[in-house]
Amino acid sequence: MTDTATPRLLFPLLQPGQAQKEMFHNAALALLDMNVQPAAVAAGTNVPPEAPEAGDCWIVGAAPTDEWAGHAHAVAGWTSSGWQFVSPREGAQFWLGAAQGVARFIAGAWRVGETHGKLFVEGDQVVGSRGDPIAEPAGGTTVDAEARAVIVSVLEALRTHGLIESG
């Protein structure tokens, strides 16, 4: 490859008078193809597949072997000229299909199927950071069993969804 590359995705840059420019240009297009609308077959895989199809990508696991050795946590893409590897940047995301959702690279590791951040609906924040615990109702001069049951079920739902801490 070339000594100079783009700063973010490390696409090889052509040099003045460079021979076989098409090789570098095609390598850059293969890397671009892996990173635009990124999707992967699987995450955490350590062994390269036996019969990959051109264009398929995998998120390499922590202990890769064979042709993937030395590329832990990278994205491996199969091209017509063999394996291409991309080192992920903080916040990189790859779609893994409906069953697993998104894999996101955070703090040096891939986190699969997690959603991070805030949720806004029509401009209003409806979910943010987890709230403090809320105690279940107790005491009072009149005990209304039905009202308490409803309050407890609402609190249980909020805890189950992780919106408030357990008490």
In whole angstroms, what is the distance from residue 136 CA to residue 99 CA?
35
Q: What is the pLDDT of residue 13?
A: 67
What residues are paired with 106 via a beta bridge? 109
pLDDT band at 110 (very low <50, low <70, confident <90, very high): very high
pLDDT tens readout for residues 82-98: 898 989 989 999 999 99
Tell me the pLDDT tens digit for each residue of 17-57.
Answer: 666 766 666 677 777 777 777 889 999 999 999 999 888 99
**pTM for the predicted model, two decimal places:** 0.63
Give percent above pLDDT 90 in the chain: 36
Continuous H helices in 59-165? 145-160
Minimal CA–CA distance to 109: which of 70, 61, 64? 61
Please give the pLDDT value at position 70: 97
Q: Which one-letter DSSP state was computed for residue 158?
A: H
